[in-house]
Structure 1
Amino acid sequence: MNEAKTGEPKAGEAKASEDWTARQRDVLDAALRLMVEEGDNLTMAGVARRASCSKETLYKWFGDRDGLLTATVQWQASKVRVVPVDPGKVDLASLAESLEGYARDWLKVIASDTSIALNRVAVSHAGSGKDNLGAIVLENGRFALAKRLKPVLDAGKKAGHLAFEDAETAFRTFFGLVGRDVQIRLLLGDWPGLTEAAIAEDAARATRQFLALYGARKEQ
């Protein structure tokens, strides 16, 4: 089967949605759907059949199974958008909007059946030596998301709206306020009622709580 040969990122290089062609995104979605259905039985041959492409194309784009798994995690993580802020002009309202949007997107992503399936497989493989999925999920999921949000936190600090000594600690606090026990409940098969309205409410609450904890105290 012929695939487009121009504008393609090399295996392992892409980390954001705009780096993938529409065809490659379709393939990654097919891989995620297969993981929902088959768990850790995901194979390059199975993805090729589901996505109607050749195994040779998959190896060309993603390198190997670990490369494909990396790309699927990157594709999921890219759905958590970070609204950029101007470090020199950010006001409290735009800072809160950026944090709240991030929180909404993250809750939507972790509540999807594809993310639940991906994380369940990663947890089941942790320490088993089967593959590197646990490390892949951490590096391209949690750690990558932190790197993308920290510039927003630093901009808020520079503008005098936030006060913290360490951006990683501040990020972990925000991450915890947003996630609470939601992800572990999802992984264990419980549905914590994450409707669109509930997600919006949770994101707004977490943002308010974070700003209450880390908001800079203005001297009277």
Structure 2
Amino acid sequence: MATPIDAQQEGPTARQQAVLDAVLGLMVEKGDHLTMTAVARRASCSKETLYKWFGDRDGLLTATVQWQASKVRAGNYDRQTLNALGLRDSLTRFAANWLGVISSSTSVALNRIAISQAGSHAGNLGAIVLANGRFAIGERLKPVLDAGREAGLLAYDDTETAFRSFLGLVGRDVQIRLLLGDALTLGQAEIERDAERATEQFLTLYGTAKNDPGLDKTNA
């Protein structure tokens, strides 16, 4: 499979982003019936351009998953001066971003197709979503957790276990309910409230006495 986007680029160009958004839109509308022809038509570009940019259908799907996952970011922080407020803010921002992404109609459609293909062995989207979604997002947040441990703000033995605990607190049963067709709608205010609650619960489980915002009023 060809590399979906030139490794020298920081990410997709604005024109490529429009193509990837077109893919997500088609998945919501048509499910697994996605063709390069349909994408080219929706994105108003040629199939030759799609093959040049993404290599093949799997390359296009990989880039689409990467584009969707790129929307999940932790807040900015300085590893050398990370304090309780900075850690809390980074975790809360990550939680809100991730919850917003997984509850979107595009992610629900993408994950439904991935699950269907994984069960029937009809395609590679399941593996693509794991590698470029869940696992890539884990590698994005784990450095924040490790920085918190190095700063004495968190206490845990295994980073992966701590990460999975945080993800579970944030996601709860939201994703599975949406995948099964529950008409659950999360507004931005509710997402932010849930993100703050999950972060507070995580810090109760893994935070140290040093992780008290009242002890440090400066920003990281």
TM-score (norm 2): 0.90
Q: Distance in 1 between matches of 2:183 and 2:194?
A: 15
One-letter code of the match for 1:179? G
When residues 90 and 14 of structure 1 are mapped into structure 2, their CA distance, relative to the original with a 3 A threshold, is: farther
CA apart distance, 1:192: 3.1
CA apart distance, 1:87: 2.0
- Offset from partner CA, 1:160-184 (integer Å, 9 cap, x none): 0000111110000000000000000
- Structure 1 unmatched ranges of 5 or more: 1-9
One-letter code of the match for 2:80? G
Highest relative contact order (Cα 8 Å, sep 6+), 1 or 2?
2
After TM superposition, the runs of 4+ consecutive aligned structure 1 residues lying more than 6 A away are: none
Q: Distance in 1 between matches of 2:56 and 2:185?
A: 37
Tell me, what secondary structure is at the counterpart of 2:178? helix
Tell me, what secondary structure is at the counterpart of 1:85? coil
Matched with 1:190 is 182
Given candidates 19, 24, 31, the residue that maps to 1:32 is: 24
Tell me, what secondary structure is at the counterpart of 2:133? helix
CA apart distance, 1:12: 2.6
When residues 11 and 129 of structure 1 are mapped into structure 2, their CA distance, relative to the original with a 3 A threshold, is: same
Instruction: Say how many residue pairs are matched.
Output: 208
Q: Distance in 2 between matches of 1:72 and 1:212?
A: 36
Q: Distance in 2 between matches of 1:136 and 1:194?
A: 26
When residues 112 and 56 of structure 1 are mapped into structure 2, their CA distance, relative to the original with a 3 A threshold, is: same
Q: Distance in 1 between matches of 2:191 and 2:65?
A: 22
> Does structure 1 conserve the Cα–Cα contact (< 8 Å) formed by 2:5 and 2:12?
no
> Does structure 2 conserve the Cα–Cα contact (< 8 Å) formed by 1:80 and 1:106?
yes
Identity of aligned residues (%): 66
Matched with 1:170 is 162
TM-score (norm 1): 0.90
One-letter code of the match for 2:72? V
Q: Distance in 2 between matches of 1:173 and 1:148?
A: 15
Stretch deviating more after TM superposition (183-192 or 156-165) = 183-192
Q: Distance in 2 between matches of 1:13 and 1:171?
A: 28
- Structure 2 unmatched ranges of 5 or more: 211-220
CA apart distance, 1:18: 4.7
Tell me, what secondary structure is at the counterpart of 1:71? helix
Matched with 1:72 is 64
Matched with 1:106 is 98
Aligned counterparts, 1:1-220, within 5 A: 11-13=3-5, 18-217=10-209
Q: Distance in 2 between matches of 1:76 and 1:163?
A: 31
